[in-house]
Each structure stands twice: as C-alpha cells, then as structure tokens.
C-alpha cells in the first residue's frame, strides 16, 4: 500500500481492478475542506488516459511491474515472437497489443517487456531507434528554405518527414516518443 501523499510520476498503482501509471499529479490544499491529490493516470492495459482525484493521505495498492529485457525475433502472422536472452524462453505477443510499437521494432533489437503478475502489458521502447529509409520523395530543386522536409518510408513501415538531404538507403535516428526524425545515424 502507498499513500496518495507519496505519489511520484511513473509510479504504478492498482485501482478499481486496473493497473495505472501516474503521468502527472498535483497536491491541492484548498482554503476550506481537506487536501486532495489530482492525478492523470494511464491505464496500462487499454492505454486510455483518465483524470482522477484522490483524498490526500488515503492508501492505494501499489502495482509492482516487472520489466524483462527480451530480443525481438520475428513476426509470425499476427503474432510477434520475443526471446529472453538469459533463459531462452520465448513469448508471443499479438499484433493488436503492440501496433504502434511495431513501427520502431527491428529484428534482433533488445527491448523491455512490461509484465504484471505474468500478464503482458506492453513494450518499453528505447528513446531513439535507428531505422533505414527505403523510400523517399525527391526534394524539389531550388527548395533550400530552412527546415524544408520531404516524406520518407522506413523499413518498419513508419512514414515521417525528413530533411531534403536524406536519401533512400540511409539510416536515420527516430524518436520513439514523437515519431519524428532526430538525426542521421553514424
């Protein structure tokens, strides 16, 4: 159990049968009445974000989340296979559960699988990943305005805007938080 006074960003709690991650919180002490804690929570099963207010000082069950480093092996139809590199145990995750994360996964990549009591909740991607550009529109000649961009397609199916100098076959670094081009890969 954890008191609402001890909430921290990123902490996970179990509330009304669901597992939530605290995105943000604010302690409020009004002039009249008791203090309360206003929170923004992400449901780790559905990814929905809700606003919830708790009375200050009440106890909430803390959810202990396990993170296992696993290597992405391959896709088999609608399932994706990951392997624990220590035990060589393999798990399969359905495509619908990790649809957005698939744009940043490449075979052989090591990522964290987030679990709660052996229930798979999702993936924790690195902040930035390196992807290969497999198709890009040609830049318009003479278009040298600052921050000019063109659309590109990566080897994982991600479509994003890149600077005009990026060519097909180049490797680029992409932010997994925003889905935007960061830099050229070295």
Q: Do domains 2-62 and 128-184 have the same CATH topology?
A: no
Domain 66-124 in CATH: superfamily?
Nucleic acid-binding proteins (2.40.50.140)
Q: Which CATH code fits 128-184? A: 2.40.50.140
The pLDDT, as a whole number, for residue 20 is 92
Domain ranges of the chain: 2-62, 66-124, 128-184
The pLDDT, as a whole number, for residue 62 is 92
The pLDDT, as a whole number, for residue 131 is 93
Average pLDDT (59-83) is 91
Per-residue pLDDT tens for 119-143?
A: 888 888 889 999 999 998 875 555 5
Q: What is the pairing mode between strands 59-62 and 2-3?
A: antiparallel
117-143 b/e (C-beta count within 10 Å ≥ 16 → b): eeebbbbebeeebbbebeebeebeeee
Average pLDDT (95-120) is 88
The pLDDT, as a whole number, for residue 85 is 86
Q: Which CATH code fits 2-62? A: 2.30.30.30
Is the pLDDT confidence value at 63 over 60? Answer: yes
Per-residue pLDDT tens for 30-56?
A: 888 889 999 999 898 888 899 999 998
CB 80 within 8 A of CB 95: yes
The pLDDT, as a whole number, for residue 142 is 57
Residue (of 8, 37, 36) closest to 23 by Cα position: 8
**pLDDT band of 144, cuts 50, 70, 90:** low
The pLDDT, as a whole number, for residue 139 is 59
pTM: 0.73
């Amino acid at each position: 159990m954890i008191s609402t006074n001890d909430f921290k960003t990123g902490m996970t709690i179990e509330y009304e049968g669901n597992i939530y991650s605290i995105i943000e919180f604010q302690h409020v002490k009004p002039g009249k009445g008791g203090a309360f804690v206003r929170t923004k929570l992400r449901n780790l099963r559905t990814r929905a974000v809700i606003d919830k207010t708790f009375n200050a000082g009440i106890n909430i069950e803390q959810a202990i989340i396990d993170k296992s480093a696993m290597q992405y092996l391959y896709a088999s139809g609608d399932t994706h296979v990951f392997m624990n590199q220590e035990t060589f145990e393999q798990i399969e995750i359905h495509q619908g559960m990790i649809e957005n994360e698939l744009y940043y996964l490449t075979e052989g990549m090591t990522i964290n699988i987030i679990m709660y009591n052996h229930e798979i909740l999702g993936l924790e991607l690195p902040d930035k990943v390196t992807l290969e550009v497999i198709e890009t529109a040609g830049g318009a000649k003479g278009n040298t305005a600052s921050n000019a961009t063109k659309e590109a397609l990566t080897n994982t199916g991600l479509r994003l805007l890149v600077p005009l100098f990026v060519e097909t076959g180049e490797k680029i670094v992409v932010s997994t938080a925003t889905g935007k081009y960061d830099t050229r890969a070295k």
